[in-house]
Amino acid sequence: MPEIFVAKVSQFPDGERRIVAHAGCEIGVFHWQGKFFAYENRCLHQGGPACEGVIMHKVEDVIAADRTWQGQKFASEEVHFVCPWHGYEYDLRTGECAANRRLKLKSFEVKRRGEDVYVIAG
């Protein structure tokens, strides 16, 4: 399977992403908390550039013991990226659609060889 060069680790800061192209397919590669994740840059909704939107922590409702809504907060662990076309959110670590976990973006393996980061297209 072809290996597509993404970036040198020193030029790919944590919290950023890169979009690479291979054989007519765009792949979004994320560097998050020292790990790399890669997904096809094609939203499951209407084919928008899913990997190019804002990266943000999941928004959670805060519910009191009496079941009343207390507001919202950002989750400490779960991070999403949001398709800029229509707001579909995807879990950065799994590629799952936040609204329906049965839907998932196509993922790609990411390899690190020394300072070089590659995505395995296939």
pLDDT of residue 45: 92
pLDDT of residue 75: 77
pLDDT of residue 118: 97
Select from 88, 90, 86, 98 the least CA-distant residue to 28. 90
Task: Give 76-107 pLDDT, tens digit per residue.
Answer: 788 999 999 999 999 999 999 998 999 999 99
Tell me, what CATH number does 102's domain have?
A: 2.102.10.10
What is the rounded distance in angstroms from the CA atom of residue 49 to the CA atom of residue 112? 25
Domain range for 59 = 3-120
pLDDT of residue 121: 87
E strands within the chain? 3-8, 17-22, 25-32, 35-40, 55-63, 69-82, 89-91, 96-97, 100-104, 107-113, 116-120
Domain count across the chain: 1
Task: Give 20-64 pLDDT, tens digit per residue.
Answer: 999 999 999 999 999 999 999 999 999 999 999 999 887 877 788
- The CB density around residue 18, as the number of other CB atoms within 10 Å, is 18
- In this predicted structure, the answer to whether residue 7 has a pLDDT above a threshold of 90 is yes
Select from 12, 43, 7, 22 the least CA-distant residue to 120. 22
Predicted structure pTM score: 0.87
pLDDT of residue 38: 98
